[in-house]
């Protein structure tokens, strides 16, 4: 007699064979994850020369930095406050009077100064320096160090700017090269590199690689749909939406203990009367039951089922028939199976990252377009 579903013991997930994923597909995911899809054909040589993900990002950043240095770095204005012997900009009356500067022949001034030490240039130099300790390729590390020193000699300091400074440093439409290099530098900190701050746990290199790729895959999928689905066709993409439990009554403290439900991506098309909840899972799509049979993961199915059923609202027609998709990366495996359960279609889909890039794109494009069961697959 088979063990009941709720009691089945699932084996630990087998890690993906990351070394079998072509760097070109890693580059493809990186482009979408960092919002640089329009630069897809700009770095053919650098992509082919990169043996792994970290060297890929480093090579791209070095390439973009070298190109920017040849064309001169962009300048910007920064707010300065100084005590001078002549008026420059605006006079700070309060500061000048409170320190009796007028009697000393001085004046406190506030002015804008043209500088090369802008937040965007500081971010690039900080990214180059941060890559030094992570690269196994000595020549590539030397290339990063040389470029960081070149930026330093030009007057760019190595301190990483705050998020507020980066946001305030708006990049114009005509500054495509700056947009590219800043996006690459930002990806070093925000996308691919786990925190290096001191803590109670350390990561092995294999764990770091998986952490980097997990973040890359999740963000790339959301940005892919946002970039590829047309608003003119009625599609809207909502990443990272938090669901609320439909609680009718509750004890005083239960809100602090209820788990948070946050989906990765929601695709919605009011014209087609469709809502698709997509949750990405960076693990193998199948696991082994206690008796050795291959099955979908119980916890993943329960999670998606809870997302869909808990949000059913009579006043929201799309919620009553929304689709749910569990999306997995794979190497050499093709799965697309579905079942209609209590009015909701649940799909298990893999994206084979060992396939040619064009096939990966076509597979992703097909996911929201398929709305019915077909023979031989779901």
Domain holding 231: CATH number? 3.40.1350
Q: In the Cβ-directed half-sphere of 140, how many Cα atoms lie within 13 Å?
A: 22
252 - beta bridge partners? none
> What's the chain's average pLDDT?
79
Q: How many domains does the chain have?
A: 3
More confident site: 36 or 95 = 95
In a domain, 218, yes or no: yes
367, 364, 26, 333: which is closest to 192 by C-alpha? 26
Mean pLDDT of all residues in 213-240? 84
193 - beta bridge partners? none
Determine the pLDDT at residue 128. Answer: 93
269 - beta bridge partners? 235, 274
pLDDT in tens, 308-355: 998 888 888 898 999 999 999 988 889 999 999 998 999 999 999 888
Residue 177, H or E segment: helix 176-187
The reply to whether 186 and 127 lie within a common domain is yes
Determine the pLDDT at residue 315. Answer: 87
Residue 143, H or E segment: helix 138-154
Asked which of 50, 84, 115 is the last residue of a domain, the reply is 115
Q: In the Cβ-directed half-sphere of 72, how many Cα atoms lie within 13 Å?
A: 5
The reply to whether 52 and 88 lie within a common domain is no
The reply to whether 54 and 179 lie within a common domain is yes
Which residue range is the domain that position 93 belongs to? 76-115
Other Cβ atoms less than 10 A from the Cβ of 128: the count is 26
Structure-token pair, residue 366? 């097909």
Strands (E), the chain: 76-84, 90-91, 107-115, 235-239, 242-243, 261-262, 265-269, 274-280, 286-288, 294-296, 323-330, 336-341, 344-352
Question: How far is residue 167's CA from residue 315's CA, in Å, rounded to a whole number?
Answer: 39
pLDDT in tens, 249-286: 989 888 888 888 888 889 999 888 899 999 988 888 88
The reply to whether 138 and 169 lie within a common domain is yes
In a domain, 372, yes or no: no
More confident site: 291 or 193 = 291
Asked which of 161, 192, 223 is the last residue of a domain, the reply is 192
Please enumerate in sequence order all residues whose Cβ is within 8 A of that of 245, keeping only pairs 6 or more positions apart, or say none.
258, 261, 310
Mean pLDDT of all residues in 36-52? 59
Asked which of 153, 170, 192 is the last residue of a domain, the reply is 192
Burial of 235 (0-12, 13-18, 19+ CB in 10 A): buried
- Of 148-152, 160-164, 290-294, 329-333, the one with minimum mean pLDDT is 290-294
The reply to whether 294 and 209 lie within a common domain is yes
Question: How far is residue 304's CA from residue 39's CA, in Å, rounded to a whole number?
Answer: 35
The reply to whether 97 and 121 lie within a common domain is no
80, 67, 44: which is closest to 124 by C-alpha? 67
Helix 23-33, helix 53-70: angle, nearest 10 = 60
The reply to whether 107 and 216 lie within a common domain is no
pLDDT in tens, 181-216: 888 888 788 655 444 444 444 434 444 466 677 778
In a domain, 164, yes or no: yes
Percentage of residues of the chain with pLDDT beyond 70? 80
The reply to whether 255 and 286 lie within a common domain is yes
pTM: 0.65
The reply to whether 183 and 241 lie within a common domain is no
Determine the pLDDT at residue 344. Answer: 93
Question: How far is residue 68's CA from residue 81's CA, in Å, rounded to a whole number?
Answer: 30
């Amino acid at each position: 007699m088979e063990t009941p579903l709720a009691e089945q013991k699932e084996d630990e997930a087998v890690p993906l064979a990351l070394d079998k994923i072509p760097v070109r597909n890693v580059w493809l995911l990186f482009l979408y994850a960092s919002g640089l899809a329009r630069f897809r054909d700009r770095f053919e040589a650098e992509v082919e020369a990169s043996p792994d993900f970290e060297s890929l990002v480093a090579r791209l950043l070095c390439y973009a930095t070298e190109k920017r240095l040849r064309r001169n770095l962009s300048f910007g204005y920064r707010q300065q406050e100084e005590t001078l012997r002549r008026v420059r900009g605006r006079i700070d009356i309060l500061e000048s009077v409170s320190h009796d500067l007028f009697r000393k022949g001085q004046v406190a001034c506030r002015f804008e100064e043209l500088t090369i030490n802008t937040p965007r240039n500081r971010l690039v130099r900080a990214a180059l320096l941060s890559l030094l300790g992570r690269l196994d390729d000595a020549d590539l590390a030397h290339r990063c160090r040389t470029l960081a020193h070149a930026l330093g000699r030009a007057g760019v300091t190595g301190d990483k700017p705050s998020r507020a400074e980066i946001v305030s440093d708006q990049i114009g439409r005509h500054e495509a090269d700056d947009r590219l290099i800043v996006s690459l530098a930002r990806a070093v900190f925000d996308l691919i590199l786990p925190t290096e701050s001191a803590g109670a746990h350390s990561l092995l290199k294999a764990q770091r690689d998986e952490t980097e790729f997990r973040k890359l895959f999740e963000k790339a999928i959301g940005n892919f749909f946002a970039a590829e689905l047309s608003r003119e066709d009625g599609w809207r993409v909502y990443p990272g939406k938090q669901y609320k439990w439909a609680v009718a009554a509750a004890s005083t403290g239960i809100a602090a203990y209820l788990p948070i439900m946050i989906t990765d991506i929601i695709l919605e098309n009011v014209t087609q009367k469709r809502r698709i909840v997509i949750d990405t899972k960076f693990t193998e799509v199948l696991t082994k039951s206690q008796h050795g049979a291959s099955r979908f993961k119980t916890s993943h199915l329960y999670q998606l089922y809870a997302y869909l059923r808990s949000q059913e609202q009579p006043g929201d027609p799309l919620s009553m028939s929304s689709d749910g998709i569990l999306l997995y990366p794979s190497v050499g495996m093709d799965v697309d199976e579905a079942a209609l359960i209590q009015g909701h279609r649940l799909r298990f889909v893999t994206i084979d990252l060992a396939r040619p890039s064009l096939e990966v794109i076509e597979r992703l494009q097909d996911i929201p377009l398929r709305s019915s069961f077909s023979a031989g697959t779901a």
